[in-house]
Structure 1
Amino acid sequence: MRDTWYPVLESKRLGRRPVGLTRLGRRLVLWRDAQGRPVAQEAACPHRGADLSRGRVVNGCLECPYHGLRFAAEGACVRVPCDGDARPIRADLRVKGYVVREGLGLVWLWWGEEREELSPLPWSQELPEAGAGACTATLTWNVPFARVMEGNLDLHHFPFAHRRWAPGMGTLLDPYTARLEGDVIHTRGVLREDDGKPWNGRSGFVAEIRVLFPHLVLLHFGELTRAMAVATPIDAENTWVVFRYRSGLPLLGGLVAWFLVRTEVRLIQPEDYALLRDSEPRHPAREDFHLVRADAGIALWYRLYERRLEAQRRTLPPAPAPTAASG
């Protein structure tokens, strides 16, 4: 999905040294310039393909570990040691860069056409911020992006996939609503006992999930607890997931958030990961499923996903054949 901000790294992970990572099918290097601003560029040195993430930052520029060429934040090569400082530097000796911003304790990369004015970071006023009262974790899953997002919208799996941690949780999802407003999918449901009676407004587990298409999830559990999950494709088969809990409980909010995140990492997420990783087909379309009423949010997401993919296929030029870089 293009024309979207994707988180690629936690801000606290980006210090003085360059960081190499793969996101959105690209091998990238992230580093900070002399003012401490994040920079994202292709990791392959344009000279002979060395991995720039193995280099270092010198005087606000990124230095290649192989031959010492230095690149400014905007991508231009500013030094070629073997040629000396007097010789002019070739204009084509530059590294491709990407627009990045910092917010909510994350480094976000713009994936799409460059414009004079880019959209603001998504839901920056609504998502739980990092810091006191919050706890964040990241995971790398061998699960395609669409499957991860499908799992994020699934409420009625919990009493079965996680039965050890939720004994006695009801299996009836009622009431349940799912609707689409622009690029936002709104779902709200109550998991309760199937006693044949209308919901009394008090019993059961109430959850509200909103998804800002394609990849950002905001969850409310009660009045005091909020959670977010954001998925960024690493490549066609793997996805980087960042999630955060924030509790508004006075004094103990940070401890509560830490406990919820640790519970997710150690107990809940491994079970979700195994189920999503082994689901077939790995790259599904809506017609591969026989969805039920409780999957209405998932159906809305796939409808948007397929429409956007088709629109991109009509407007984007064919991708060039990949070439191997030597180094």
Structure 2
Amino acid sequence: MTALPMVEPEAGMPQRVTIYEVGPRDGLQNEKAIVPVEVKAAFVGRLLDAGLPVVEATSFVHPRWVPQLADAEELMTGLTAQLGDAAAGLPVLVPNERGLDRALALGLRHVAVFGSATETFARKNLNRGLDEQYAMFEPVVARATDAGLTVRAYLSMCFGDPWEGAVPVAQVVEAGRRLLDLGAAQLSLGDTIGVGTAGHVGRLVAAFDDAGVGPERLALHFHDTYGQALANVHAGLRAGVTTFDASAGGLGGCPYAKSATGNLATEDLVWMLTGLGVEHGVDLAAVVEASTWMAGHLGRPSPSAVVRALAQSPE
């Protein structure tokens, strides 16, 4: 029997949150050894079976930039055979109109774009300036929404940039509002290098609220580089945010920060939410099993503290 946390509800917490699982896309995209498409499909299936309500499957990026995701069409076709119409509800990242064309051809219903809050990262990641990126996203979001798709917008470098240092809160709010104004339904604020702190989280969410963007339209995406991800989630919960990105087993990393330990692990997030009495609908034991299974395919142990602890705990 899997150990469970002690439950002590805390005043001011939301009753329920959504865990937005990014392991199959964000977690695997930096893996140098190509993961077989059959393994990816099985991983997505295991995560869905664990009760995760949203599982981002892949990205329709050019294979030259992300070789790991060159099998996007093959994966989604296989998932359709495996899951039926439910596969069309899995979100995918589309970096540009060409990526959107590929998603539309497969009948997918949820897409995401990936923007930057800083000039330098926009140049390095998108080959466009901070202001220029919106011209690329505008037709993608417009065409997607006209076709009845929902669009999520990721915004990276919201808490710090390895080249520019501290990122002004007002700059992040302006960049985020511009993405939402294009027609995105949700904005995920990324702590790309893991330097955010709890007070910073509260201040940023409050600044968005002051600008007319309530916490119900925000998601938070933390990396655990400096061990602050769960503290930052707690601050986000207190600020009213109810969607949090996480990666099963803590898969993923950040190439822009030394010693980055990757995304917030889904298991660590589930453990904390359970302890707070916040509903999430996820089976912890099943996610641990899925992460351990994938770690075996990757040939290394999971960095998740909860996965490590449960692997060592007596039955």
TM-score range for the pair, normalised by the shorter chain length: under 0.3
**Which protein is richer in strand relative to its size?**
1
- State the TM-score, normalized to the length of structure 1: 0.27
- State the TM-score, normalized to the length of structure 2: 0.28
**Which protein is richer in helix relative to its size?**
2
